[in-house]
């Protein structure tokens, strides 16, 4: 069932060269011969070997995607899943096949495989440890980083505009009249979490009138961590008269909501909650989560596009690519004590 170009050529009564010309569509071939060869190819379900082609062309038309794996292996990470989807789609459109790899802190094994000239380029996702990046740098393979945690200036980055997004959160919550906040701040080594928090603080400072902001650091960014942190702090939250929680990503926020709801604290009735990312489950949760959407699809698409330019050795590929974020208002936020519009209205207001 597996044929090669020599067989095709023989069966069509031509030379390998001619068969090759028919397949690639390059060079002169008479109409008649072309048809003859095509017929044989069709009949035998012949597909030229990608391996052999890669051998001579020095191009595999494969790209590698490496995702950091925290704790339990998670490609099914709600955010990175979306990103990978977008990358897959874009890669396909450009004729690339995608190798997916997850990598952990120390083991460079799986990354090493890709360095065996298996790929034309590499997309690195998330908080990959420095050693992975350093390792990749050693090889002669174009690469770029999406939503990365370093700001290594040598590395091409695609990032969401997290700081601006953080400001949006502040504006929204402040605009609704909230003045006393709890922030569940994900791992601050991670660029995104850090900037979201900074943006939030800056936004609040600009608007003025915030009475209190408590920041609860979370060493990890998963659902359970948001849940646990909020569960521990629920009583304090009520006692301190806080009315809004901002978690620096959606998974944390979902955990927060669940902890609140389980304790009979109504969301958004008693507490407004906001997240960041617009993960799929954000819209599904009851109540649906108000959040900031990052245009993951565009990021994925651009990642492939830029990588493709790198592979083709085009000049002038931008080093830093930022993506605007968009406020998505859903059901988890509601006017707070300082009333709606602008401010001043007494802490009243119907359901």
State which of positions 68-127 bind its own copies (CB under 8 A).
73-76, 78, 81-82, 84-86, 88-89, 92, 97-102, 109-110, 112-118
x/- contact string, 3-22, with DNA (CB under 7 A)? Answer: xxxx------xxxxxx-xx-
Closest residue by Cα to residue 247 from 238, 258, 236: 258
Check binding of 129 to DNA (CB under 7 A). no
Check binding of 140 to DNA (CB under 7 A). no
x/- contact string, 47-76, with DNA (CB under 7 A)? Answer: -xx-xxx-xxxx------------------
Residue 99's binding partner out of its own copies, DNA, none, with CB under 5 to 8 Å set by partner kind = its own copies
Residue 260 CA to chain centroid, in angstroms?
28
Neighbours of 138 (CB within 10 A): 8
Check binding of 231 to its own copies (CB under 8 A). no
CB of 281 to its own copies, least distance (A): 5
202 versus 270: smaller Cβ distance to its own copies: 270
Q: Write the CB contacts of 302 (distance below 8 Å, at least 6 apart in sequence).
A: 158, 321
Contacts with DNA: how many residues (CB under 7 A)? Answer: 32
Separation in Å, CA 134 to CA 85, 137, 152: 26, 5, 10
Binding site for its own copies (CB under 8 A): 1-2, 45, 47-55, 60, 62, 73-76, 78, 81-82, 84-86, 88-89, 92, 97-102, 109-110, 112-118, 138-140, 223, 254-255, 257-258, 261-262, 280-281, 284-286
Binding site for DNA (CB under 7 A): 2-6, 13-18, 20-21, 23-24, 26-33, 48-49, 51-53, 55-58
């Amino acid at each position: 069932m597996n044929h090669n170009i020599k067989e095709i050529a023989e069966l069509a009564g031509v030379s390998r060269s001619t068969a090759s010309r028919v397949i690639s569509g390059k060079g002169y071939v008479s109409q008649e011969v072309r048809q003859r060869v095509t017929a044989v190819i069709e009949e035998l379900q012949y597909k030229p070997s990608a391996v052999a082609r890669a051998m001579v062309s020095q191009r595999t038309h494969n790209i590698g995607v490496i995702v950091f794996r925290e704790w339990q292996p998670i490609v099914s990470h709600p955010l990175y899943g979306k990103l990978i989807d977008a990358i897959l789609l874009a890669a396909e459109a450009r004729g690339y096949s995608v190798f997916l790899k997850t990598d952990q802190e120390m083991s460079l094994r799986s990354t090493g495989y890709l360095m065996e000239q298996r790929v034309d380029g590499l997309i690195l996702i998330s908080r990959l440890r420095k050693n992975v990046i350093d390792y990749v740098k050693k090889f002669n393979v174009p690469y770029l980083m999406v939503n990365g945690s370093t700001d290594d200036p040598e590395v091409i980055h695609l990032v969401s505009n997290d700081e601006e997004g953080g400001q949006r959160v502040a504006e929204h919550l402040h605009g609704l009249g909230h003045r006393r906040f709890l922030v569940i701040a994900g791992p601050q080594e991670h660029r995104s979490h850090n900037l979201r928090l900074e943006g939030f603080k800056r936004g609040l400072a600009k608007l003025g009138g915030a009475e209190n902001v408590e920041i609860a650091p979370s060493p990890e960014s998963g659902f359970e961590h948001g849940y646990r942190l909020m569960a521990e702090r629920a009583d304090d939250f009520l006692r301190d008269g806080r009315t809004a929680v901002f978690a620096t990503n959606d998974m944390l926020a979902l955990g927060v909501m669940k902890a609140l709801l389980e304790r009979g604290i109504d969301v958004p009735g008693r507490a407004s909650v906001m997240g960041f990312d617009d993960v799929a489950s954000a819209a599904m949760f009851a109540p649906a989560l108000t959040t900031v959407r990052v245009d993951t699809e565009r990021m994925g698409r651009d990642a492939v596009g830029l990588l493709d330019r790198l592979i083709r050795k085009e000049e002038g590929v931008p080093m830093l690519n930022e993506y605007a974020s968009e406020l998505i208002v859903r059901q988890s936020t509601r006017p707070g004590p300082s009333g709606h519009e602008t401010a001043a209205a007494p802490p009243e207001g119907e359901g």
